[in-house]
Each structure stands twice: as C-alpha cells, then as structure tokens.
Amino acid sequence: MKRFILLLSILLTMSGCFPDDTTKNDNAEFYDTEWSIKDKSEGLRFYNDDSVLLFSSGYRGTGSFTYYKDEKWISFDNLELFFPSYTTITTSAFIQDDGSLKVIWHKLGEDKNYYQIMYKRR
C-alpha cells in the first residue's frame, strides 16, 4: 500500500512537468516554412523559435511572429527592412481562402498600407 501511495504521489507530481496537449502552439503550423511572391525575389521564412526572416532584393530583416489560427491572422513584431532611402515595417498577414498569404506593410512614417501576396514554397 505504501508503494502505491508513493507511486501515485510521484505520478501526480510529475504530471505538472508535461505540457497540456490542449494548449498547442498555433505558430507551429508555420515552423520551417517559406513563403514568397511569384518570382521568389521577396518572401518570409518562419523558424521554430517564433522568429521570422523577411528577404527582399538582397536585403534582410528579422522579427518575431504570432499566429492566431482562429482568425487566420499573423502578427509580426519588429519586422523591418532598411533600404538606403526608406524603412519598411511588416505588421501582419492574413491567410486567404486559396491558401496564399496577404502580407501587409508600410513605409516608416507613412500611414498608407501596401500588401503583397505570397505563396507557400516549402
């Protein structure tokens, strides 16, 4: 009986050490994927540490991302590209019905938003 109680106590203590399957990380759907525009000159690469790389015409920027699966929406933090004459900030992306990604960005200091459609490459 003492062994049973000891074993039960150990199991109950250890149960807090394992992640709860109901709290899965939505970001995992994008880990190790790459998205780009049709000519592949600009795009996004998502990594399993929740970081993201933005590449465009030889320039690169990094930031982090959070994917909200229920809204089909990605929020980017600190995802900036520094060009010689301006800086762009990529703020979000939306999954379209056809599976493409509509990426929203703007130039630093401007209110006008632009977008690009990207397609999953890998």
Dihedrals phi, psi of 33, to nearest 5 degrees: -115, 160
Low-confidence ranges of the chain (pLDDT < 70): 1-24
Q: How much is the pLDDT for 13?
A: 55
Q: How much is the pLDDT for 58?
A: 82
DSSP the chain: -HHHHHHHHHHHHHGGGSPPGGG--GGGGGTT-EEE-TTSSEEEEE-TTSEEEEEETTEEEEEEEEEEGGGTEEEEES-EEE-SS-EEEEEEEEE-TTS-EEEEEEETT---EEEEEEEE--
Task: Give whole-number Cα distances, 115 to 9, 92, 94, 102, 112, in Å.
Answer: 55, 10, 10, 6, 10
Q: How much is the pLDDT for 4?
A: 53
Q: How much is the pLDDT for 5?
A: 59
